[in-house]
Amino acid sequence: MTVRRVSIFGSTGSIGVNAVDLIARTPDRFQVVALTGGTNVALLAAQARTLQAEVAVTAYPDRLDDLRAALAGSGVAVAAGADALLEVADRPTDWVLSGIVGAAGLPPGLRALRQGATLALANKESLVCAGPLLLSEAARFGARILPVDSEHSAVFQALVGEDIAAVERIVITASGGAFRDWPLERLAGATLAEASSHPNWAMGQRITIDSASMFNKALELIETREYFGVDPGQIETVIHPESLIHALVGFRDGALMAHVGPPDMRHAIGYALNWPDRLDLPVARLDLAAEGPMTFRAPCATRYPALRLAREVMAARGLAGAVFNGAKERALDHFIAGRIGFMDMAAMVAHVLDHADGAGGLAGAITLDNVQGADHMARQAADDWLGSRG
C-alpha cells in the first residue's frame, strides 16, 4: 500500500482527535505533513510529536511561543496565523482532512484543492457557504472532495456503483438532539448546559448545540444538495432517535439503501482517509438483536424552524448559504454568551435572511470575496438586530 501524505486541519477538535487516533493506529499508511489547531497548543504539540508531523500551526499568533516551547527539540517546524494556515495548505499533500469548525475553514480548504489534494471534508460550513466554488475549483485542479459528515458519507457509500440519475430521493436522519422530547413551551428557556449535551454523539460544543436546534440538519440539507447535485425536493430528513441509520438513498425502482452503524465518527473519517480502500476500523460491530427497535418520526416544523429556513436558502441559491451560515454562527455565539435565548437563534437568522433579501444581498456570484462579504454582512446584521432589541 502506498504511503499517503496527509494534513489535518483542526486536529485538536473532536473530528481532528478522532482522525489523529486513526492515523496513529496505522503509521505505515500515512506520513503527516501539517497539523493545525487553535488555542490548545499543548494538545497540538503532543499530536505533532506522536505523528512526527513536518509542521504544526496554531491559528493564533499569540500562542506561537507556547507552541514553539512545547515542540522544542522535536524536529517539528512551527508557525502561526491565518497566512501560515494557507501556506501549509499549499504544501504538496495527497490527502487533507479538514475538521475546522465554521466558515474559517473555507480559505484553507480551497487552497488544499488548488494544490490538487483530496479534501476529506468535515467542515460542512464551507460547502454551505460556497459549495459551487469548492466543486468548480476541485474540477479545475483535478482534486476531489470526500464527505466526512456521517450522513453524507453514508449517501456517498450507498451510491458506489450507482448512477446518480437513478436516484429518486435522499433521506438523511437526525437524532432530534437534546430537546427532541421536551414540551415546546420549555424550549425558549433551554440553557447552554442543557443544549450542550447530545443524546447519542460525542462532538464539539457548537455542532452539539446545532443538533438541538437542528441548525446542523439544516446545514446538512444544503450540504446534501451541494455534494450530490439533487433537487432540494428530493432531499428529506427524518428523526431517528437511535442514530443507527445515518442516511438512505431511494432509487427509481423503489429500492431504499440504508447505511447502518454505531454513532462513531471514526467510521466516516476512516472511510474518507482510506478511500477507495476499506481497511479495518476500530468501530463497534452492531448486534442488531441487542439494539432492539429502530424508530422514525417526522420533524415538527414549530420545534425546528431551522429546517424551513434551509429550504428557503436552497430556493434562493446565490449567496444565501453564506448569509445563512454567517447569521447562524453569530446567533450561536450570542446564545453561548448568554445574550439570547435558544429559540431566538432561529428568529435572528430569519431576520438576517429577510434583511439581506431586502438589500439584494442574497444574489451574486459565489466567489471567495463575495462569500466573505456576505458572511461579514450577515454577522453585522445579526448584531444590529440584537442591538435594536435593547
Per CB under 5 A, residues contacting Mg ion are: 149-151
Secondary structure of residue 201 in the 3-state scheme: coil
Strand partners, 30: 4
Among 5, 7, 12, 35, interactor with ligand NAD by CB under 6 A: 12
Among 5, 111, 124, 198, interactor with ligand NAD by CB under 6 A: 124
For the chain, strand residue ranges (E) read 4-9, 30-37, 55-58, 77-80, 95-98, 118-121, 144-147, 167-174, 235-239, 245-251, 256-260
By the rule CB under 6 A, 262 interacts with ligand NAD:
no
What span, in angstroms and rounded, lies between the C-alpha atoms of 280 and 318?
41
Stretch of 95-103, 109-117, 304-312, 316-324 lying at the interface with ligand NAD (CB under 6 A): 95-103
Stretch of 99-107, 227-235, 324-332, 381-389 lying at the interface with ligand NAD (CB under 6 A): 99-107
Q: Which residues contact 187 (CB under 8 A, 6 or more apart)?
A: 179, 303, 342, 343
Among 6, 143, 222, 265, interactor with ligand NAD by CB under 6 A: 265
What does 107 bind: ligand NAD, Mg ion, none (CB cut-off 5 to 8 Å by kind)? none
Start-to-end C-alpha separation, the chain: 61
CB of 349 to ligand NAD, least distance (A): 16
Residues in the chain: 390
Closest residue to Mg ion, based on beta-carbon distance: 149
Q: Would you give the DSSP letter of residue 185?
A: G
CB of 144 to ligand NAD, least distance (A): 18
Among 117, 203, 281, 377, interactor with ligand NAD by CB under 6 A: 203
The answer to whether 19 and 282 have CB atoms below 8 angstroms apart is no
Q: Is 275 left (phi over 0), alpha (psi -120 to 50) or beta?
A: beta
Task: Show the site string, 43-62: x = touches ligand NAD by CB under 6 A, - = not.
Answer: ----------------x---
By the rule CB under 6 A, 131 interacts with ligand NAD:
no
The answer to whether 83 and 58 have CB atoms below 8 angstroms apart is no
The answer to whether 335 and 342 have CB atoms below 8 angstroms apart is yes
CB of 104 to ligand NAD, least distance (A): 3
What does 14 bind: Mg ion, ligand NAD, none (CB cut-off 5 to 8 Å by kind)? ligand NAD
Cell of 2: 502506498
By the rule CB under 6 A, 80 interacts with ligand NAD:
no
Stretch of 9-17, 160-168, 239-247, 375-383 lying at the interface with ligand NAD (CB under 6 A): 9-17
Residues that bind ligand NAD (CB under 6 A): 10-16, 37-38, 59, 99-101, 104, 122-125, 149, 201, 203-204, 206-207, 265
